[in-house]
A and B are shown apart, each in its own frame.
Chain A
Amino acid sequence: MSVENTTITPNSLPELTWNPLTWWKWWITPRQVERNKKFYERNTRALIVIIFGVFLSYLLSSISTGVLVGYELITGGAIGIFGIAIVATVRGFYRISSWILALVFLMLAFTGLYSSGYWAPNGVGMMLTILPVIILVLESDRAKIFFACLVPIIFTLTAFHQESTGFTSIFGENYSFSNPTGATIFFMVLMLILIGAGYYFIAEFRAQQAELRDLINTLEQRVADRTDELHKAKDLAEQANQTKSQFLANMSHELRTPLNAILNFSAFVADGVMGPVNPDQEDMLRQSISSGNHLLALINDVLDITKIEAGLMDLFIQPVDMIETLHAVESVGKGLVKNKDITLDVDIADDLPITYGDKRRLRQVFLNVLSNAIKFTPEGCVSIHAKASATTICVEIRDTGIGIAPQDQAMVFESFKQAKHDSIPEAIGTGLGMPISKHFVESHKGKIWLESEVGKGTTFFVELPVLTEAEADQITMNIEEQI
């Protein structure tokens, strides 16, 4: 199990800065439109405030002078376009509406300048024309405010200059502070509102940036928290697995060490190494050994299945000579059939390729199957037949024993289950041999299955792919990852 470190990369977020120099690119490449929807909406609202300010200044100048200063037509057109922009906004076409509004704003600004009569190659006039554009285009909020403030300051300074020098004002012949023209009022109000709108815009912009930053922080915090929790859970699980693994190793050690003395000392005495024993004593010792071996088999099986079920069963990969392995199994089988009326036929093809795997575990698989075949065959024949194709090794272990009823066949490979056999007294065991074998065959990417008929016998098939060292190592690497 592994937890990937999750971090939010800057690329995964929408662009945070509304940059008037580049925002038109959104229109050309309409990416992240959905994500930016709220963003556009806010910009549009800021522009609406600005345009509203423009109209308010028209209105105020008209009312105060009692004259509509010649741009009624343009004003009407602007109102129409403004209406379209509002409809577009309401419909959700934020990009289009923000474009329209920006154009309307500029149009009105130019119209105002024209009609007030100072659109001329006049330094101050040019500056007044350009300033609103600069304000819109500038990236820095502080610069925006500064330039916005410059507009009324220039107006005021120019007015003072005109009054003190008697030069023709940019506001026309009749201009004076005591008799302001409609155009002057229009521009004064416009600029004041522009400043207000600028502040509003900046505040909105700041707010949405802060909101986004908060959102990112929250998200990052949440991701960090979750990652932390996952790491903790992973550590706990690893610790638990480690404890379990250690416990199994200890149990294995504690249970098998005494058996070393029990089994071997009994065998030495029974074999007469320590001096002569009478037949009764030998018989008892043989029974002790047999019981001890049975206990050892049980311990091994229980430890194996516990490891398998805990996902802790690992393999030790080395080259496996299947011919040698099967002959070793055969020699154990010969010992098992010694006291029974069973013939053991072995036919192992001599072209079985070398494969890679866990030698001990593969031998264990074939030993399990073979000893079961012998155990459940009162008399007759047990055969081992092994052959190889280009990519697989197939081993069949066939017996002429009691067979397995169809309803019991699926149970064979399940843990802790064993069919009842009254006729086979030695059919005691953990019932774990086959599930363990199945696990080992499958961890070697192979298959194990059986065919059986009650009263006629059973055939177990083990099909193992011929693995290269790299393929076999991959298995252990996968297991280690799980552990």
Chain B
Amino acid sequence: MTCTLHILYIEDHPASRKVMELILTDIMGFETVTMLDTTENLSQQIEQLVPPISLVFTDLNINPIDGYSVCRILRSHEAYRTIPIVGVTASLSPTEMRRMKDVGFSGVITKPLNHSTFPMTVQRLLSGEVVWED
């Protein structure tokens, strides 16, 4: 399966980046996956990306700007207003989920990623569904 959609993943943990990259490219066949390892100068960084971005994953526990602010900043850009922005986190509580919903996330994916259900979740997100029960 080859897919030309451009996916962005913001994550500072190298192993987690590698896992995501392997799943998205080797297993799911996405060709353009951009990884950002810091949220420093986020606005400048995303302006350099090749549009259009179809899906954004962002770690919640990231510095210097946390995932919630990342989502808020992205949502303020025209190109990111409607695309799915998905939080990736290893610690998930309903309070965090409610906060994610409030800042405009489309869903959440928990670490460790389950590589067998993950492709299905991505399909649902791309079709415009929200995913809060992963």
Contact = CB atoms under 8 A, between A and B. Distances in A.
Contact of B133 (A253, A261, A359): A359
A273 B92 CA distance: 30
Contacts of B89: 253
B22 A316 contact: no
A293 to B, nearest CB: 9
B59 to A, nearest CB: 10
A260 B95 contact: no
B94 A363 contact: no
A140 B39 CA distance: 76
B110 to A, nearest CB: 8
Which 3 residue pairs of A and B lie closest in terms of their CB atoms, listed nearest first?
A261-B15, A252-B91, A316-B94
Contacts of B90: 252-257, 260
Given A248-B91, A260-B15, 8 more contacts: A249-B93, A256-B91, A256-B110, A256-B111, A261-B16, A263-B112, A268-B22, A316-B132
A264 B110 CA distance: 13
Interface string A249-284: 111111111111111110110000100000000000
B94 A315 contact: yes
A62 to B, nearest CB: 91
Nearest to A360: B133
B97 interface: yes
Interface in B67-94: 89-94
What's the dominant secondary structure at chain A's contact region?
helix
Given A257-B16, A359-B133, A264 B91 contact: no
22 contacts: A248-B91, A251-B91, A252-B91, A253-B61, A253-B90, A256-B111, A256-B112, A259-B112, A260-B90, A260-B113, A261-B16, A262-B112, A263-B112, A264-B19, A264-B22, A264-B112, A267-B115, A268-B22, A316-B94, A316-B98, A318-B132, A476-B94
Interface in B95-134: 95, 97-98, 110-113, 115, 132-134
A314 interface: yes
Contacts of A192: none
B134 to A, nearest CB: 8
A254 B98 CA distance: 22
B70 to A, nearest CB: 17
Contacts of A267: 115
A261 B18 contact: yes
Contacts of A252: 90-92
Contacts of A262: 112
A337 interface: no
B40 interface: no
Contacts of A396: none
Interface residues of A, number: 31
A255 B132 CA distance: 22
A387 B133 CA distance: 23
Contact of B112 (A260, A316, A359): A260
Interface string B7-48: 000000101101100110011000000000000000000000
A248 B15 CA distance: 23
A296 interface: yes
B16 A260 contact: yes
Nearest to B96: A249
Given A360-B133, A363-B133, A261 B98 contact: no
Contacts of B15: 258, 260-261, 265
B133 A314 contact: no
A432 to B, nearest CB: 18
Contact of A257 (B13, B22, B95): B13
A7 B100 CA distance: 40
A358 interface: yes
Given A264-B112, A267-B115, A476-B94, A273 B22 contact: yes
Contacts of B93: 249, 314
Contacts of A359: 132-133
Nearest to B13: A257
Contact of A273 (B18, B27, B61): B27
